[in-house]
Amino acid sequence: MTYPGGPPEPYQPQPPYAPQPPVQGQPYGQYLPQPVQQPPPGGEQRGGKGALLVGGAVLLLILAVVGGYFTYQKVFVQTPTEVVEAYLSEVASEHPDAGKVEKYLCKEEAAKLRKDLANDTSSGSSRSTILEWHVTGETVSGSTASVYAQFTIKITSSGRTSTNNLTLTLVQEDGGWKICGYGP
């Protein structure tokens, strides 16, 4: 309370008042206005910086997991076409490495290759050389795939060249695609 001629009293905040019942004569459902709720003392809001940091950390973790998955898929997992391309590159090289060729084959085909190499007594004059090749298509159905390739070979003994189509059948084995058969 102030007295005339005296200094004014400092401002005292008024406590918020409780909801009031409707005043006689007002239409049903209309109440007196409610005061605006004051922020908690200290000026801090609930969940401010801490929630922001936790949310950012979760987002970074999700991005790292997703990025790692796609990097792994791109670097370590080969598609059926990539397996066939690597296989044909090695087979078509001047001196193919049987160990490298074998890693692209399923266990059954690798065993056949080892047996054929062990029994090979030819002098090499009747062999053919792959002059060029390219993959023309791919179909995948579950854990099997077919890759279509066209290649040109030169038969060493006659010097004649021939262009052929080849379908390589692949299966998923030991976590990757392996060539497990081929035919026209």
Asked whether the predicted pLDDT for residue 57 surpasses 90, the reply is no
Which of 71-75, 139-143, 178-182 comes out lowest in average pLDDT? 71-75
What pLDDT digit, counting tens, does each position of 122-133 carry?
555 556 777 888
* CA distance linking residue 36 with residue 16, whole number of Å: 9
Asked whether the predicted pLDDT for residue 1 surpasses 80, the reply is no
Q: Secondary structure of 89-157 in the HEC alphabet?
A: HHHHCCCCCHHHHHCCECHHHHHHHHHHHHHCCCCCCCCEEEEEEEEEEEEEECCEEEEEEEEEEEECC
Which of 84-88, 93-97, 102-106, 137-141 comes out lowest in average pLDDT? 93-97
* CA distance linking residue 179 with residue 151, whole number of Å: 17
What does residue 178 show for φ and ψ, rounded to 5 degrees? -130, 140
Asked whether the predicted pLDDT for residue 93 surpasses 70, the reply is yes
pLDDT at 36: 67
Longest dimension (CA), the chain: 127
At residue 7 the predicted structure's pLDDT band, cuts being 50, 70 and 90, is low
pLDDT at 136: 92
Domains of the chain: 80-183 (3.10.450.50)
At residue 177 the predicted structure's pLDDT band, cuts being 50, 70 and 90, is very high
The answer to whether the beta carbons of residues 87 and 96 sit under 8 Å apart is no
Instruction: Say which residue, 22 or 68, is predicted with more confidence.
Output: 68
What's the mean pLDDT in 19-27? 59
What does residue 124 show for φ and ψ, rounded to 5 degrees? 95, -5
Q: What is the pTM of this model?
A: 0.53
| Coil, strand or helix at 166 | strand
What does residue 183 show for φ and ψ, rounded to 5 degrees? -175, 175
What pLDDT digit, counting tens, does each position of 104-154 carry?
999 998 888 888 777 765 555 556 777 888 899 999 999 999 999 998 888
* CA distance linking residue 96 with residue 74, whole number of Å: 26
